[in-house]
Amino acid sequence: MALTHRDPPASDPISDDAADGADLSAYLTPGASGLSRLDLLVSGAHCAACISRIEGELADTPGVASARLNLSTGRLAVSLHPDGDPRRVLRVLERIGYPASPYDPGSVREAQDREGRELAMALAVAGFGAGNAMIFSVPVWAGLFGQELGPATRTFMQWASAGVGAPCAVFAGMVFFRSAWKALRAGRANMDVPISIGVILTLLVSFQETLLMGRDTYFDAAVTLLFLLLIGRWMDHALRRRARSAAADLLALQAPSASILGEDGAERRSPLRLVRPGNRLRVRPGERIPVDGVVETGESEIDYAILTGETTPQAVHPGVACRAGALNLSGLLTLKAEAASEDSTLARIARLVESGAQSRSTYVQLADKAAALYVPVVHTAAALTFLVAWMLGIPAREAVLRAATVLIVTCPCALGLAVPAVQVAAASRLFRRGVLVKSGAGLERLAEADHVAFDKTGVLTEGRPRLLNADPADIARAAPLARASSHPLARALAEAAGEGPVAPGALEVAGQGIEARTGTGLMRLGRAAFVGAPLSGNQTELWFRDADGALFRFSFADALRPEAVGLAGALARRGLSASILSGDVEAATLRVAGRMGIPDWRSGLTPQGKVEALEGLKGAGHRVLMVGDGLNDVAALSHAHVAMAPGTALDASQSAADLVYPADHPGRIAEAIDTARAARRRAMENFAFAALYNLVAGPAAMMGLVNPFVAALAMSGSSLVVTLNALRLLNGGGR
Amino acid sequence: MSIVVILAPFSLALALIGLAGFWWTLRHDQYEDPQGDASRILIEDPEDRPL
């Protein structure tokens, strides 16, 4: 059905500007009964009125069968009739004030949701089992404390407890059994192995005790254990899901496409992967170069900041090669593609990233370190308990029971909750400050960082030019022309001038500047040569000639972000040294380094050069936090011990980073380090508590002093303590 | 004591109903958009009349 949309007829009545002319058919998913589905990300919707406005307007739009907005995620699913036009949907949304962008709902999310559901169900069943098995356990516990309880009644209660607890434990335990089995087959032992052995052994021993009319059974303990552990698993999963869906939104929004010129000169918007070498591409001002290519026609300036960190735009004319990812600033360009997108500069950077990701995967998380210690110790203790008790002449049945008690009472739940609870609390606290934590491991590595390497452009500076001090009268004179231009320097000038009139009849001369004819003469704003000013070779300046022929010069510089000024000091107070690794020229880097007070800076670095600089720091024993946003940083980000990217960064940089912070607030980097360190402290406290608890509970169980009531109390109590300690992080505690 | 034989299965059955209810909500995407569901009840539909 979607095929009917793929090639809009030439007589398509809708004539739009370039952005609207995009071919959206790639985003249509064919659905049932001739309808196709369009998935959109809507910004600005946050209340009931927004829902009814969006859904109501779309219901009245011809060609739309239905629309449903998910307010929690900002995703809008629109069902279209075969004659429905996705562009019209976008225009309706634009008109009512909710700009939307299409995205491709990946299959990744669905698979992940299945995992979430499985965990939720296991958690619910375990909760049900824990509560209801305990109904029958309480009378048995009462019997332990001298209340009247005949052996027949006790056995009845135990059977009832088994009937509820055992099936629930088996169902809820599957998550752990599967993971443990997978680990064992791969010849490893993870935390799930002792959990699985503990639960299975406990269930078997309890059944045996029930059959032999024994006193102590642990059905409720087994299922409570699983319940508590599943809470930890669930928190871990929720953390990962939130980060992943935020990342997926960003990826989906940056759906890359290119305008391919056909033989007949007609222009078609196509996905990037369809671009072949030899294709002629049109790149408008403000668009990125889609693939590596050579300019055929047109003159313009190209901004390589995102690729190299260089802030000065470079002039291009026919015959000059451009690299993918660079931003076309001023003129319309026609390019001849030289490489398919997977062979472009971008792809080469991606390969550097892969090698970095491999080096980082060897990092061992705190919880795994604890598990590596815990597993052998507890199993040896349980085995010893059995052997010693047996040699002391205690019947084998009693000895096995004691060993099982050791396994269950040394409680991996405190350990299992210790880290996820802390990480969820820390991530929530950072999330409220706009910092997105993508993985718990990243948080742990951040706490270990002792050196921060900054990219300059876009991280410490705003990544766009700002007018340096100039006479307000001069600004006001040039402002009407500047407002008519889309060039970044002119826009910076217009921004400095504020609201005001636009020069009538202004004409943009590609790659040169802008001019307008007035009653008395010609006004020009642009490059020195265009205006007729003496050439200075400095490209971050703009010349203006008014109608009388008087010349004015405006200089621009990439301004330092206000919060960045005190950042080096804030980091130094936390014991971190800092350095700047920039791809920009020496003068620009030196200026920023001077303002920030960072003596250690390097300029003119290639992406490979940044990686080498990081390796050098690593060699000197540093654990480096890399902060960067551009494509030239992606490789360095993935080679660093831990990486952060501002929210304005490219998707590639964001996916290589462990944390994403709001670009306007570099000060949050220091905050994130504080929180990471507090989280590490909380996790250590939790481990210390768990160890202390086990030092008491373990030997008690080995000596046979623990009964099912004590086991249940101790297990839940220790989990509660660990969780409450983690929650202290939420309110900014832990400094 | 014999009351236990009635009460215990009864309480279990009640709990099972709750569990089944949760399972049903999970299967029917009730947790996909908690914020939207909370807001939708506030939308005034002009065609809504008391029965």
- Helices and strands in chain A: count of H runs, count of E runs: 23, 27
A117 touches chain B (CB under 8 A): yes
Q: Give the strand order in the sheet containing A601-602.
A: A436-437, A659-661, A642-646, A624-627, A451-454, A577-581, A601-602
Mean pLDDT of A238-266: 64
pLDDT value, residue A626? 93
Mean pLDDT of A233-252: 66
Q: In terms of DSSP bridges, do strands A461-467 and A601-602 run parallel, antiparallel, or are they unpaired?
A: unpaired
pLDDT value, residue A20? 41
C-beta atoms of B8 and A52 within 8 A: no
Report the 10 Å Cβ neighbour count for A688: 11
Select from B33, B34, B43 the Cβ nearest to the Cβ of A52. Answer: B43
A window 55-84, beta carbon within 8 A of B: 69-73
**pLDDT band at A242, cuts 50/70/90?**
low
Residues A521, A549: Cα–Cα separation, whole Å: 9
Give the count of alpha carbons within 13 A of A445, CB side only.
Answer: 28
**pLDDT band at A17, cuts 50/70/90?**
very low
**CA distances from residue A648 to A168, A299, A330 in whole angstroms, order as listed:** 47, 28, 22
User: Would you say residue A355 has pLDDT above 70?
Assistant: no
Contact A397, A207 (CB under 8 A): no
**pLDDT band at A34, cuts 50/70/90?**
confident
**pLDDT band at A471, cuts 50/70/90?**
confident
User: In chain B, what percentage of residues exceed pLDDT 90?
Assistant: 18
User: Would you say residue A18 has pLDDT above 50?
Assistant: no
Query: Is A546 an active-site residue?
Result: no
Most confident of A327-331, A607-611, A652-656: A607-611
Residues A636, A370: Cα–Cα separation, whole Å: 30
**pLDDT band at A254, cuts 50/70/90?**
very low
Mean pLDDT of A521-527: 82
- Distance from the Cα of A36 to chain B's closest Cα (Å) equals 21
* A138: CB partners within 8 A, 6+ apart: none
Residue from A501, A449, A457, A463 nearest A480 by CA: A501
Sequence-ordered alpha helix ranges (H) in A145-218: 151-185, 192-211
Report the 10 Å Cβ neighbour count for A542: 26
Identified catalytic residue from A216, A236, A303, A455? A455
| pLDDT higher at A624 or A718 | A624
User: Would you say residue A673 has pLDDT above 90?
Assistant: yes
Residues of A in contact with B40 (CB under 8 A): 48, 51
Residues A98, A275: Cα–Cα separation, whole Å: 31
pLDDT value, residue A170? 95
Select from B22, B32, B39 the Cβ nearest to the Cβ of A47. Answer: B39
C-beta atoms of B26 and A121 within 8 A: yes
Residues of A in contact with B23 (CB under 8 A): 121, 124
The lowest-confidence range among A204-213, A346-355, B25-34 is A346-355
Report the 10 Å Cβ neighbour count for A310: 21
User: Would you say residue A263 has pLDDT above 70?
Assistant: yes
Strand partners, A294: A321, A336
* A550: CB partners within 8 A, 6+ apart: none
User: Would you say residue A12 has pLDDT above 50?
Assistant: no
Which residue of chain B is at minimal alpha-carbon distance from A117?
Answer: B26
A493 touches chain B (CB under 8 A): no
Which residue of chain B is at minimal alpha-carbon distance from A165?
Answer: B12
Tens digit of pLDDT for each residue in A390-426?
A: 888 888 888 888 888 888 787 667 777 888 888 888 8
Residues A600, A580: Cα–Cα separation, whole Å: 7
User: Would you say residue A308 has pLDDT above 70?
Assistant: no
Provide the number of CB pairs (under 8 Å) joining chain A to chain B.
51
A152 touches chain B (CB under 8 A): no
- Distance from the Cα of B51 to chain A's closest Cα (Å) equals 23
User: Would you say residue A126 has pLDDT above 90?
Assistant: yes
Confidence check on the interface: ipTM exceeds 0.90, yes or no: no
Residue from A642, A647, A669, A673 nearest A658 by CA: A642
A147 touches chain B (CB under 8 A): no
Tens digit of pLDDT for each residue in A86-109?
A: 888 888 888 888 877 776 655 445
- Residue A386 in tokens: 């059995």
Residues of A in contact with B32 (CB under 8 A): 70, 72
User: Would you say residue A15 has pLDDT above 50?
Assistant: no
Residues A314, B44: Cα–Cα separation, whole Å: 57
Report the 10 Å Cβ neighbour count for A115: 13
pLDDT value, residue A397? 82
A164 touches chain B (CB under 8 A): yes
Q: What is the DSSP letter of A686?
A: H
Residues A325, A303: Cα–Cα separation, whole Å: 9
C-beta atoms of B12 and A124 within 8 A: no
Contact A356, A655 (CB under 8 A): no
pLDDT value, residue A410? 77
Q: Give the strand order in the sheet containing A327-328.
A: A314-316, A300-303, A327-328
Most confident of A30-34, A108-112, A535-539, A620-624: A620-624
Instruction: Please provide the average confidence, as pLDDT, over all residues in chain A.
Output: 79
Long-range contacts, stretch A516-519, CB < 8 angstroms, 24+ apart: A516/A480, A516/A481, A516/A484, A518/A547, A519/A547
pLDDT value, residue A364? 64
User: Would you say residue A672 has pLDDT above 90?
Assistant: yes
Mean pLDDT of A145-155: 80
Contact A664, A561 (CB under 8 A): yes
User: Would you say residue A568 has pLDDT above 60?
Assistant: yes
The three state secondary structure string of A9-58 is: CCCCCCCCCCCCCCCCHHHEEECHHHCEEEEEEECCCCCHHHHHHHHHHH
C-beta atoms of A72 and B16 within 8 A: no
Contact A232, A723 (CB under 8 A): no
- Distance from the Cα of A361 to chain B's closest Cα (Å) equals 32
| pLDDT higher at A499 or A25 | A499
Tens digit of pLDDT for each residue in B1-51?
A: 678 788 888 888 998 999 999 999 988 878 877 888 888 888 877 666 665
Please give the angle made by the CA atoms of A180, A184 and A189, to the nearest 5 degrees.
75
